[in-house]
Amino acid sequence: MTSSRTDILSLLNGNKPASPPAFSGLIHVTEEGLQREGLLLHEVHHDADKMARAAASTFKLTGIPSATLPLDLCAPAEALGAELNFYQNGELQFPQVKKHLFPSTAYLNEAYFKSADLASKGRLPLVYDAISLLKEDAGQDVVISGMIPGPYTLLLYLVEPGGLFAEMKREPQVVLDALSYLSAFLAKIGNVYHTSGADFITIHEMGGSPGFIGPSKFERFVLPALRELHMNLPSPRVLSVCGNTNKSVAALAESGADAISVDQLNDVAASRKVLKDTLLFGNIDPVAALWQGDEAQVVEAVQSAKEARVDAIWPGCDMAPRTPLRNVERLIHHDFSAN
C-alpha cells in the first residue's frame, strides 16, 4: 500500500512509522511518463508548466507519493554563468555544463557574489514558478523535494579540476572560502524553493561525497560547507551522497542534515547502528534493480533495505529515464509489512 503524504511529512519531521515509506527526493521522471504528457526531456527545462507536468508524471502513472524539482542539478551553475548542454538531439540526458567557467577557485570571491542577485538568474525563476505550479497540481497528494547540488558538486561544475585539485593542496583556504560563498548562494535558492512550495530540500552532494573524494578531504573541505548550508536551510533537509560511504557515516551525520540518503554501495545495516538521531534513507540500486531488474530483484532490494532498518525506501541516486513504470509500481506497492 502506498504511503500517504501525511505519513511521509511526519517521518521527515522525525516521527518514524511502523514500516518505511517508499518515495524519492531525487529526480524520478521516466520516458514513459514524459511520453504520456507529450513532452520531450530537453524542452521541459525551459518552461515552468512543462517542468511541473514532467515532475508530476511519475506520480500520476504509478502513485509514487513524491515529485522533485528541478529536473537537473545544473540550474545554480547556469545562474552563475555556466553554459549548459541540453541534449536537444533526442538523447535522454539531463543537462550538463559544457565547459568550466574558471581556472581557479579564487574567482569565486566576495566581490563576485555581491555583483548581482544571482539567485534570480538563469532558469532559477522558472524553477520557482514550476514548484508553485506543481504544488497547485499535486501538492495535496505528494511530497515535493526542492533539489540543489552540494557546494562541492557545484564547485566541480564551475572550476577546472586541475586548478581545483592543485589549490586543495597548495591554497586550501581559497577553496574553503569559495565553498562558503557557494553554500550561502545555495541556501538562498533552497529557501526560495521552500517558500515556493517544496516540502523539504534535498542536497545532492554527488561530487563531494566521501565515497568519491575520500573521508579526509570530505571532512576538511566539504563538511564545513555542508554544515553552513544546512544551518541556513529550513528543515526537513536530506543529504544525498553516492558511492562507498561506509567509513564516513558519522561525519555525514555531523553535517546537520535531518536525513542521510545513501546508495547501494553503502552497508545500510552498519550505517543504521551509527545513525542514532539522523534518519537513514536508501539504498535501492537505480540501475541494476529499478532500471534493468525484474520484479524479484526489486522486491529483494526493497526487502534487504527494510531488514537493514532504513527509515525510507529511496533509490540510491537519480532514476534513469528509461526505468520502466512497472518497477516503480513494484517499489511502492510492495507489501513492506511482509516478512
In this predicted structure, what is the pLDDT of residue 336? 42
Q: What's the pLDDT tens digit per position in 118-128? A: 999 999 999 99
Which residue from 78, 102, 217, 214 is spatially nearest to 164, judged by alpha carbons? 102
In this predicted structure, what is the pLDDT of residue 337? 45
Can you give the pTM of this predicted structure?
A: 0.95
Q: Rounded to an integer, what distance in angstroms lies between the CA atom of residue 108 and that of residue 60?
A: 41
Q: Rounded to an integer, what distance in angstroms lies between the CA atom of residue 285 and that of residue 295?
A: 13
Q: Rounded to an integer, what distance in angstroms lies between the CA atom of residue 91 and that of residue 100?
A: 22
In this predicted structure, what is the pLDDT of residue 91? 83
Q: What are the domain boundaries of the chain?
A: 5-333
In this predicted structure, what is the pLDDT of residue 335? 55
pLDDT-flagged residues of the chain (< 50): 336-339
Domain 5-333 grouped into CATH 3.20.20.210: yes
In this predicted structure, what is the pLDDT of residue 133? 98
Q: Which amino acid is at 124?
A: L
Q: Rounded to an integer, what distance in angstroms lies between the CA atom of residue 23 and that of residue 66?
A: 6
